[in-house]
Structures are given as C-alpha cells and as structure tokens.
Structure 1
Amino acid sequence: MPESAGQRAAAHKRMPLVLALAAQVLGGILVFGTAFVITRITAWPLPLITLLVIHGGIAALLGRRMGLANWWMPIQAAFPFCVAAALTWQVPSWVYLVVFVGLVLVFWNSARGGVPLYLTNTRTKAALAALLPKEANFRFADLGCGLGGPVLSLSRVRPDGYFTGFETAPALFLMAWLRRRLSGGANIEIIFSDFWSQNLGEFDVVYCFLSPVPMPALFEKARLQMKPGSLLVSNSFEVPGTPADDILEVDDARNTKLHLWRM
C-alpha cells in the first residue's frame, strides 16, 4: 500500500532524540566557540553559569526550529546544567547507564515516535465510561495505554465489555501488565505491540492520548479499518483538516477536550 502524506509526515518527525542532540551540539559549538574567541581576544573568561544559560537557551530555540515539540524546550534548556553537574560531582559512569536505560524504558515512545507519556485523569475516565456502547460485549482499545489506567478503570465500571491496551514502552507495558494481573480482571488484555500493526476494525471504541504527530495517519487508519458506527476518541489532539463530529469538554483542571469521530 502506498505511503500516505500523513504517514510520511509522521515518519519525518520520528527522530526527536537525533534533533535534540543536534541542537545541543550546534548550540555548544556556537556558545563555547564564541566564548573561546572572546577570551583569546580580551583575556576575560566568561562565567560558566552564563555560558550554560546561553547554551541551554540556544539549544531549546534550535530544537524548536528543527521541529521538536514544545515540551522538549525545558529539557533542552536544562541539559547543559545536568552535564556540568555530573562532571563536577564526578558521578560514577555506571550511574549514567542506569539512568539512560531507565529513561529509555519509560519514554520509549517519546524517543521513537514523538509521543510523550500522558496519563488520563479520573474525570476523563468517567467521561469515557459515558461514551461506551450500551450493549454488552463491546470492545474498547486504548492506543498507547501507558500504565493501563483507562482500561483498568473502565473494565470495573463495565464488566460486560472487553478492554485492550496497546503499549510499546517496555517499562510501562510491564507495569500495566502487572496491574492487570493484580486486578484479576478477566475482560482486560494488555498487549506489547505497536498499534499501527493492529486492525482497529475489531473495536467499537478506540481511545488515544498521543500527540499532534501521529494524528493524521491514525485518523486515516481508523477511517479505513473501523466499522460503521464505531467511535474514535482523541484526548486533546485534533486531526488537521478533519473537524471532530463532536467535542466533549471535561470538567477538570486542564479543561480536557475529547474529540469524537463517528465512523
């Protein structure tokens, strides 16, 4: 099947770590290279704290210009300080490995697919429960289920339905799987799989809390695969050029909006 424009756009943005690293390297070369020249000419060394602030700011701006999401900006700004602190305190090398592996296992989707870890709050789960079909034996899917909150909560509210969560971040999948085992719910399934490889036509309600990056390609996939009358629900994120059939506003602290498309 030919790759769609939405899929190409999503694939183009699935390199946030590479872009973040490039912004840090370019920012470092610019700041510390300029500082070296100034020091050679004036014999006046610039304070390290000043250089770190400028480096972080430039890296954040460069990253944004390269297409990184807004939530990367504070990470980019803080990164030079973290490196300087680690070098100053002489942190053992194995600590870096442990921290890196831990972050990768948790934020795997952020690095690979431009999808941060967002958790669905209690009031939004209640709003989702109201959207479930009235008939029994319906099927609900959470695309990128994180810790498994929505499927676990909804399975208790509607024991007459079947709930599936897909997750590819190893640590999050393990925690969601353990929570499912401890819950004892027979109508819950946590699957270690990329939802792109799944057939969405099996589900009556598909829920996602992702990011703007995959939404065009996801909507196209849902339109092609989901059966007539089924429902696609996106927490907070729209599909450019395709207005939702309805928007459900949740009465919570972040003014959550659930975008609803009836297939």
Structure 2
Amino acid sequence: MRPLLKKLPPSIAALLLQSAAVVLMLLTVNVTGRYDSPLLFALLCGLLAATFSFFAGLAKWWLVIQLMFAPALVLMLAVELPPTLFLGAFLLLLLVYWSTFRTQVPLYLSSNKVWHALEHLLPVAKADSGFTFIDLGSGLGGVLTHLASIRPDGRYIGVEAAPLPFFWSWLRIRLGSHRNCRVQWGSLWDCDLSQYDVVFAYLSPVPMEKLWHKACAEMRPGTIFISSTFTVLDQAHHETVQVDDLHHSTLFIWHM
C-alpha cells in the first residue's frame, strides 16, 4: 500500500488516508454502539489519519494537517459561520496556492537577510555590460525588487504561477518604478535558463532533482545556480552561505 501512495500527489494520499480514518471510526462506532460527541469522534479521526500518514511516509507538516483537519471542521461547523466566509477563504487560498497541488511547491518567502546575502553572489559590476538574474517561483517579488534597487546594472526576471503572488509582485514592480525588473506568469519549466547569468530558486525538496537536470542542460558555463534551503541530493555544491535569519536559511551555490 505504501509504494502505491508514494506514487500519488501528497494531497491525494492525505485525502485517502483521512477518508480511511473516518471509515474506520464509523465502523468502530457501528460495532461498539458508542458515540460520545462529534468533537471526540473528530479527534480520534485526526489521530488515526496522522498515524496512517506517518507510516505512509508523508512529510511532517502533513501529520499536523491530518491531525487537525477533522477537529477544525467540527469546530467551524459548531460556530455556525456564514457559508460565504468559507467560500471566500477557499478562493483566497486558491489564488495563493494555485498550482501547489501539481507542483508540490508552496509559497515560501525569502527573508530580508537572504536578499542581502544574494547581493554578494551577483556578478562583479562592469562598466560596459550587465547581467541577467531569474527568480524561479518569485512569490511576492521581494528578491527581485531589492536586487533591482541595489544593483541597477542587472536585469531581473521573475516567474510565478500563482495568480495573487504574481499580481502582488507585478504591482510592487510597477509602483516601485523598477525599469530593470519584470515578472511573468507561468511555469518555471517553460523558462530557457540559457538566457541568465544567475538562476535563483526557493522551491521545495520535490522538484530539485528535475530542476538540477534542467539547469545542467540549459545553463551556460560560468553561470551560477543558487538554491535557498533545499539542496540537490547527490550533487556536491561548490559553496554555501549560511544566513542568520529566523529559519537559518542556507544558500547552496553551484558554478555551472
């Protein structure tokens, strides 16, 4: 059963395990004839779902989600909030996490200290030429606008698939009048990395191996590939930069 679940997207695997926990609890109630309260039932469902998820090998944050989902649902129903509130929350989450279901890359925001660390990794300024920098999964555009202000000799491009972060970063660039900076809505897999001197990514562990192969196939010799927090397994990095921020971020650097 575990190998089968491994082939599924984590969200689908989590849903199946949550459903299995509910079915098992319903069978238990039917057999024992004991049902104390909806909240206790939900708590037991959550505990079972989290246990199933642990043995299925889901990431740690899924265990918390599985544990809290059913109790949170029961509590929300007990409060009797208007249905439009739930619809609004769902639409907001959809706009923010748009493609997370498919890409398994949630919205991670780089800290200000990471922005400052990146300043020192950009190519040396030259009077007769600039450089190009791309942020794969540029989120709210913080990296782009900061570097565009600090190093105006560069050209900065971001790619973002989620509608709300894309619009936020587009607005941020326009209001800040960053003429050397732009963001495009789309998939990072459609980007031609051969056009850039520096490629930066802050994604998740899931796509890193695929992204590494893409970088090796497309990036030019002498360019730099930087990943924040998530490294590429079995690929030795040339440098690391430890950032003293809340998450103790690490920048992994490869010279292509």
Question: Structure 2 length as normaliser, TM-score?
Answer: 0.90
Tell me which amino acid in the other structure corresponds to 2:49.
A
Tell me which amino acid in the other structure corresponds to 2:86.
Y
Of stretches 113-122 and 56-65 in structure 1, the one that deviates more from structure 2 is 56-65
In the aligned structure 2, how far is the partner of 1:183 from the partner of 1:87? 43
In the aligned structure 1, how far is the partner of 2:62 from the partner of 2:107? 13
Partner of 2:132: 139
Partner of 1:232: 225
How much has 1:47 moved relative to structure 2?
A: 3.7
Matched, 1:30 2:38: no
- The 5-angstrom pairing of residues 246-257 of structure 1 reads 246-257=239-250
Tell me which amino acid in the other structure corresponds to 2:177.
G
Partner of 2:91: 101
Partner of 1:198: 191
Cα deviation 1:6-35 (Å, max 9, x = unaligned): xxxxx956x233222212211111123213
**Native 8 Å contact 2:222 2:255 kept in 1:** yes
Q: Secondary structure at the match of 2:214?
A: helix
In the aligned structure 1, how far is the partner of 2:75 from the partner of 2:149? 46
Matched, 1:87 2:77: yes
Identity among equivalent pairs (%):
35
- Identify if the C-alpha distance between structure 1 residues 252 and 90 changes in structure 2 by more than 3 Å, giving closer, same or farther: closer
Tell me which amino acid in the other structure corresponds to 2:163.
P
In the aligned structure 2, how far is the partner of 1:12 from the partner of 1:141? 31
How much has 1:132 moved relative to structure 2?
A: 0.2
Matched, 1:21 2:11: no
**Native 8 Å contact 2:132 2:198 kept in 1:** yes
How much has 1:88 moved relative to structure 2?
A: 2.1
How much has 1:208 moved relative to structure 2?
A: 0.7
Partner of 1:7: none
In the aligned structure 2, how far is the partner of 1:108 from the partner of 1:72? 18
Q: Secondary structure at the match of 2:60?
A: coil
**Native 8 Å contact 1:16 1:112 kept in 2:** no
In the aligned structure 1, how far is the partner of 2:7 from the partner of 2:208? 14
In the aligned structure 1, how far is the partner of 2:232 from the partner of 2:55? 22
- Identify if the C-alpha distance between structure 1 residues 164 and 131 changes in structure 2 by more than 3 Å, giving closer, same or farther: same
Partner of 1:214: 207
Which of 169, 172, 179 is matched with 2:165 structurally?
172
Partner of 2:154: 161
- Identify if the C-alpha distance between structure 1 residues 12 and 233 changes in structure 2 by more than 3 Å, giving closer, same or farther: farther
Cα deviation 1:166-196 (Å, max 9, x = unaligned): 1001111111111111111000111001010
In the aligned structure 2, how far is the partner of 1:255 from the partner of 1:236? 9
Which structure would you say has the larger RCO, counting Cα contacts within 8 Å and 6 or more residues apart?
Answer: 1
**Native 8 Å contact 1:232 1:261 kept in 2:** yes
How much has 1:66 moved relative to structure 2?
A: 4.1
In the aligned structure 2, how far is the partner of 1:216 from the partner of 1:104? 27
Q: Secondary structure at the match of 2:52?
A: helix
Question: Structure 1 length as normaliser, TM-score?
Answer: 0.88
Matched, 1:245 2:238: yes
- Structure 1, gaps ≥5 residues long: 1-10
Cα deviation 1:183-229 (Å, max 9, x = unaligned): 11000111001010110111111111111100000000000000001
Matched, 1:58 2:52: no
Partner of 2:3: none
In the aligned structure 2, how far is the partner of 1:69 from the partner of 1:174? 30
Q: Secondary structure at the match of 1:71?
A: helix
Q: Secondary structure at the match of 1:131?
A: coil
- The 5-angstrom pairing of residues 34-53 of structure 1 reads 34-39=28-33, 44-53=34-43
- Identify if the C-alpha distance between structure 1 residues 150 and 58 changes in structure 2 by more than 3 Å, giving closer, same or farther: same
In the aligned structure 2, how far is the partner of 1:200 from the partner of 1:28? 46
- Identify if the C-alpha distance between structure 1 residues 253 and 197 changes in structure 2 by more than 3 Å, giving closer, same or farther: same
Q: Secondary structure at the match of 2:178?
A: coil
